[in-house]
Structure 1
Amino acid sequence: MAVQKPNSPRVPGKILRFTKGERLSHWVHVVSFFVLLLTGWGILSEFFRPTLMIFGGVDVSRILHRVFAVIFVVVIVAMFFVKDPKYHWEWLRSAFRFTKADIQHIMAFPKEFFGGHANYPAQGKFSGGEKINSLITILGSAFIILSGFIMWFPQVFPDQLVRIAYPVHDLAMFMMVTALMGHLYLALLHPVSRVALEGMVKGYVPEKFAQAHHAAWYEEVKEQEK
């Protein structure tokens, strides 16, 4: 497993969880997803149409939707090759690799989600619950991208495939929005897990948090430092 870089600067009481490259790809994904979501809702439904005034109206929003669709795809894919790529590949591999400890975390996670104290085995850099979120992000993005490409160039594909692409695009969006709501709650409001947001903003999280929630990964980092 890829762990903290040996030459990363030490911060007292903190541990580096995410590199600059990891944080950059995360925030590009966040910004582009929200722009795509807002413009897409406005294009799809009259109810959300007033929100398009933020972007300058329907016509401008249609252009922005396509521009940020390209950013959503190209920038994220590029990160797997040009900026801390090994950490991105490790994340991708980990999302499809579940251990017994991950399953136990997933089983116990509902209790922690609602503010209780859950007991589960030592977790790696990404816990079982985070891997589920990663899978939703990966699969949801894949369906959105593929269906969106078909919708963008309908003349290239069979009519039946184009008709299927529209509900697939919408369902994938709803799936990702559902995961996003839980993600935002944990990152901004949850009394324990919101500390993790610091890692995606500054790169570092408190050592106590890492030791409590990602003990297996924490021990790997400490062993590497030695």
Structure 2
Amino acid sequence: MAQNSKQVPEGKVLRFTGGERFSHWVHASSFLILLFTGLAVLSVTFRPVMAIVGGIENARMIHRVVAVIFVVVVGLKFFIGDTKHHWQWIRSVFTWTKADVMHVKAFATEFFGGHGNYPPQAKYNGGEKINSLFTIFGSIFIAISGFIMWFPQFFPISLVRIAYPVHDLAMIFMTTALIGHLYLALLHPESRVALQGMLKGYVPKGFAKSHHGAWYEEIQKQEKAGK
């Protein structure tokens, strides 16, 4: 999609639309609430903290309500509103190129503050694709296992027993990915600039060129073609 010159701030490019940002923040905020309330359900150690929401029973109720939001609201964005960019994200995540693989190989250098040696990246680089895969499969496992735990009467007891450790492991898996994601978004000297794209939609052109060069060139071609 071409940039709208009347809306794009000087020196910046549109990275994420309003719909993309909405999905991201609904997913992120609901996951954090689920993590907070879920820890109290998982272990009595965290239950005194649930006084914040009125006790463990309120925490259970909040957990279930937010679980529906976690699954339904983001899921609906693939069919209502800004559907184009959501499906483009899915296709991109499951489409790997040599450039993506090279980015992943250089990711350790990138992660610890340097700038890896890799070819120009698309809108989502190799590292972001891995994070997206963690998010997709983690969400699927945590949602399915949670549904089985919520309605155990409809499933074989053996499946219900498996659902509990699967749910916990998916939570640990996604929380670990979240920690790395927060580090890159808030503390990393180069990649933290990307947070601007998820807050306001735009990122500096310099960042787009250095971290998503192939995507930036595509945008420039579209603008010149008047699309």
Q: CA deviation at 1:117?
A: 2.4
DSSP 3-state at the match of 1:70: helix
Contact 1:17 1:199 in 2 (8 A): yes
Partners of 2:3 and 2:59 in 1: how far apart? 41
Residue matched to 1:193: 191
Residue matched to 1:102: 100
What amino acid is aligned across from residue 10 of structure 2 in structure 1?
Answer: P
DSSP 3-state at the match of 1:82: coil
Contact 1:19 1:203 in 2 (8 A): yes
2:165 matches 1:164: no
Residue-by-residue CA offset, 1:128-180 (whole Å, 9 max, x unaligned): 00000000000000000000000000000000000000000000110000100
Structure 1 residues without counterparts, runs of 5 or longer: none
What amino acid is aligned across from residue 102 of structure 1 in structure 2?
Answer: D
Stretch deviating more after TM superposition (41-50 or 204-213): 41-50
What amino acid is aligned across from residue 50 of structure 2 in structure 1?
Answer: L
Q: Decide whether aligned partners of structure 1 residues 218 and 196 sit closer, same or farther in structure 2, where only a CA change above 3 A counts.
A: same
Residue matched to 1:136: 134
DSSP 3-state at the match of 2:116: coil
Q: 1:65 aligned to 56, 60, 63, which one?
A: 63
Structure 2 residues without counterparts, runs of 5 or longer: none
* Correspondence list, 1:204-215, <5 A: 204-215=202-213
Instruction: Tell me the percent identity.
Output: 64
TM-score by length of 2: 0.96
Q: CA deviation at 1:8?
A: 6.9
What CA RMSD, in Å, does the superposition of the two structures yield over aligned residues? 1.1
Contact 2:37 2:63 in 1 (8 A): yes
What amino acid is aligned across from residue 105 of structure 1 in structure 2?
Answer: H
Residue matched to 1:9: 7
Residue matched to 1:123: 121
Contact 1:106 1:128 in 2 (8 A): yes
Partners of 1:36 and 1:7 in 2: how far apart? 40
Contact 2:8 2:202 in 1 (8 A): no
TM-score by length of 1: 0.96
Q: Decide whether aligned partners of structure 1 residues 33 and 4 sit closer, same or farther in structure 2, where only a CA change above 3 A counts.
A: farther
DSSP 3-state at the match of 1:102: helix
DSSP 3-state at the match of 1:18: coil
DSSP 3-state at the match of 1:205: strand
What amino acid is aligned across from residue 13 of structure 2 in structure 1?
Answer: I
Contact 1:8 1:16 in 2 (8 A): no
Number of corresponding residues: 224
Partners of 1:203 and 1:127 in 2: how far apart? 18
